[in-house]
Structure 1
């Protein structure tokens, strides 16, 4: 039996589940007993998408990892995609009591809990940790620059930049460890004038809770965000441990994934396309776009004359909106492109025919694309994606912008990126031998090497994870000695 027991809570959104599940399995591989906790609603969707197979079944997870379920405060069948406010209010106000009940049950059954590891966006971890007398580890699934911006929300308030100001030409040059940012480089929720929403309350309360963390673990690579990490450690006094990139690698035969959508196998279609010719398009698992923008994207892809694979979730506009593509598009594009609801993104990005990724700039998509050496065309839509866009376009030089005009979240609905611009930009982006294409691919190669070294034995991510595991095991050993003394 392991000497340390970590209870790991996954935030109930697809983009958060993937890295959290991987962190849990990595800890288990290092000899920590892990109880990974999923909400009933997410668990039901994952099982449905996997034809009844349960990725959290003990027989699939191994001897050092087990699972538990908790309610998010809503009925299992509740449409969380259609009712964002109700979902976020439940996470804010209803989930904590269910978490407390689960923790009491786990403590009764044993073994003793060494720490809780929870997604930073939960609002209750410091209270739960204090109640049970255990350390609290905040797990951050996004870039450290975004964490630093949220952590220093007080500086935005002090300088008159939060709530959002109308003067978008102003620069924010006071966030520790971050470059000078435009207001439109901020996460989208900080670009809004109405800050009374459930999302804003979650951000505020979650980062108040994070200030009480004993450790912060992050899904990034130390060498890529070293300055920001160093400044955060100085400002917060909390050990900051970067262990990325964290994602589930290619599914082996019989392995069950944690996707909430049924994955289409597109490999046979990709096999028919020339090397580096296909532009892969995905807006991720959470962000929504208007029907008008979907139409512009569709016509832009068609007019680009480039082969494309487009992942278009059924609820990309809303779960109650059907027929979102332009009339006749599927027929007109059948020789050029393929539209599917969901895929194994790693399988797609690793295919030799894929030459570029038109992405919403979600952090999982970014690290997967870089890991597999695929340059990106940045089309941020929501939350951290604007800041991530700044990182990959301006700081790392691994992406081009799609939509050169400022597209703040306040004006997204009225500011479409039109199909003519989409077509021209895709054509330039996919010109592999062009000057821009060569620059992007060279920079991607450099970042990819940094990532690969980080996860090798002796690499920064491996050493950081081992340091955290040593802390947990050392703490348990000290506790055992105190009991026997």
Structure 2
């Protein structure tokens, strides 16, 4: 352990845990010990071989991480933060000598950096902020805030100084679907005691008795992370310059501190399986599902190359029941084969949404997966020709790496800017609605699917992005930034030991 020990603290949820696991492996490859600090209910999702490397370790917080969203989750989140703060303070107190403490703590900015940074600062441990999202969304949040007030007229584009012209804001960018949907529900539920939660991408109260506000901030609002990362000595982001170069440079210039792109933080096997099927079960812990990977392969093998659209909104976000119904009718009306992954609890009910009768009506065109869908497998199969996606960052880079174009339907948080990156900057997809991201109509979905699946040029551009950024293995520019990060920490550590 020549360099010392670096702690990595992910935010709650597997979408943040998995990138942090990969970051720990990269840190260990640079001769630092990387220790992952996680809540007990997330520890079962850590691959067993992670602990086999003498330079990677896990510290388990003896408490359960809350699931963001839902009634009462704000209180649960605050309790979990307090438990983690006490645990960290006790852990650091036991390491009385500076040489036994971590030389640095990498903190996921989504939830924990503000108060966790105070604990590490108390013990003289420097902190680095980690964005598990991409650089575009972070830069766009900052630029949109600096450009406020945003009084954009219909048909107008507000350019953001320092960022590419195609990323200028329009009226549709100012609409935030999650905020408006939740606002409508709040109006219906006043007096019902409905809870709120504080994590970005979920509601937080705007004031006593006031309507919920959705985080992260909308255009023109101050990003939540600006103040909480002020004490961080640097930022690392789950992307690379080949994918997000203008946005990483903008952030470094605006923030006046090092900003490194050390990703995309995808499993090792992702980078070594170019041109072949990726088996999720070989990479991530198995989850419950109504179909096996073999079932999916057989189904995809029966379809023409590039003819299947994959539909998924990830594991932690989703549509309303009404929107799911609209989507189901659109998929039935469309003529393209589809795989639709539907998560438990979708639609906001405990039993979850299910489009009863759709498979029978669509017949051989439909495969509905309930529970865990092997997304890497589906995206790497040659029959998959499009992805109807919420544009969560993990899903976005997984599809980009396999050359699959997008029909983007963002729901909350960074997904809006990820979708803008995909559609306007990389030009490898379309928005599901060019006018209103809040109330998407069935005919727009049908039209969008047909437009995407019939467009050979957008498919060719998606393949080119995959080839340019991903096909050479883990990006060389990300390895260079990782080396710069290590040198920076080495220098800080050397100053501390003098």
Q: Which category describes the TM-score, using the shorter chain as reference length?
A: 0.7 to 0.9
Q: 1:391 aligns with which of 414, 421, 425?
A: 421
The separation in 1 between residues aligned to 2:351 and 2:244, in whole angstroms, is 40
Q: Normalising to structure 2: TM-score of the pair?
A: 0.80
- The Cα of 1:126 is off from its aligned counterpart by 2.9
Q: 1:241 aligns with which of 260, 283, 289?
A: 260
1:116 has 2:90 as partner: no
Structure 2 residue matching 1:423: 3-state secondary structure: helix
Structure 1 residue matching 2:305: 3-state secondary structure: coil
Query: Is the Cα contact below 8 Å between 2:51 and 2:58 reproduced in 1?
Result: no
The separation in 2 between residues aligned to 1:260 and 1:96, in whole angstroms, is 31
Show CA shifts across 1:313-344 (max 9, x none). Answer: 0122125244x234422322342211112223
1:396–1:366: structure 2 CA closer, same or farther, 3 Å change rule?
A: same
1:430 has 2:460 as partner: no
1:149–1:252: structure 2 CA closer, same or farther, 3 Å change rule?
A: closer
1:102–1:353: structure 2 CA closer, same or farther, 3 Å change rule?
A: farther
The separation in 2 between residues aligned to 1:253 and 1:291, in whole angstroms, is 29
The separation in 1 between residues aligned to 2:490 and 2:358, in whole angstroms, is 58
- The Cα of 1:273 is off from its aligned counterpart by 2.0
1:86–1:333: structure 2 CA closer, same or farther, 3 Å change rule?
A: farther
Show CA shifts across 1:438-485 (max 9, x none). Answer: 22122213322331378557x2111111121232334444544x2xxx
1:182 has 2:170 as partner: yes
The separation in 2 between residues aligned to 1:201 and 1:438, in whole angstroms, is 35
Show CA shifts across 1:276-325 (max 9, x none). Answer: 12111110122121111111111211221221111110122125244x23
Show CA shifts across 1:182-217 (max 9, x none). Answer: 254369499668745586499855331112211111
1:259–1:390: structure 2 CA closer, same or farther, 3 Å change rule?
A: farther
The separation in 2 between residues aligned to 1:261 and 1:141, in whole angstroms, is 26
Structure 2 residue matching 1:8: 3-state secondary structure: strand
Query: Is the Cα contact below 8 Å between 2:326 and 2:441 reproduced in 1?
Result: yes
Query: Is the Cα contact below 8 Å between 1:186 and 1:386 reproduced in 2?
Result: no
| More contact order relative to length (CA 8 Å, sep ≥ 6) | 1
- Equivalent residue, structure 2, for 1:7: 7
1:464 has 2:494 as partner: no
Which structure 2 residues correspond to residues 222-241 of structure 1 after superposition, within 5 A? 222-241=241-260
Q: 1:148 aligns with which of 139, 153, 159?
A: 139
The separation in 2 between residues aligned to 1:398 and 1:285, in whole angstroms, is 23
1:215 has 2:234 as partner: yes
Query: Is the Cα contact below 8 Å between 1:273 and 1:353 reproduced in 2?
Result: yes
Structure 1 residue matching 2:128: 3-state secondary structure: strand
The separation in 2 between residues aligned to 1:423 and 1:350, in whole angstroms, is 24
The separation in 2 between residues aligned to 1:27 and 1:115, in whole angstroms, is 12
Query: Is the Cα contact below 8 Å between 1:295 and 1:325 reproduced in 2?
Result: no
1:446 has 2:464 as partner: yes
Query: Is the Cα contact below 8 Å between 2:4 and 2:33 reproduced in 1?
Result: yes
The separation in 2 between residues aligned to 1:351 and 1:295, in whole angstroms, is 28
Query: Is the Cα contact below 8 Å between 1:58 and 1:65 reproduced in 2?
Result: no
Work out the number of aligned pairs and report it. 450
1:185–1:20: structure 2 CA closer, same or farther, 3 Å change rule?
A: farther
1:331 has 2:336 as partner: no
The separation in 1 between residues aligned to 2:159 and 2:284, in whole angstroms, is 42
Q: 2:309 aligns with which of 273, 279, 288?
A: 279
- The Cα of 1:274 is off from its aligned counterpart by 2.1
1:58–1:224: structure 2 CA closer, same or farther, 3 Å change rule?
A: closer
Query: Is the Cα contact below 8 Å between 2:393 and 2:415 reproduced in 1?
Result: yes
Show CA shifts across 1:197-254 (max 9, x none). Answer: 5864998553311122111111122133322222221221110101222112457798
Query: Is the Cα contact below 8 Å between 2:178 and 2:214 reproduced in 1?
Result: no
Gaps of at least 5 residues in structure 1 are 47-53, 432-436
1:277–1:253: structure 2 CA closer, same or farther, 3 Å change rule?
A: closer
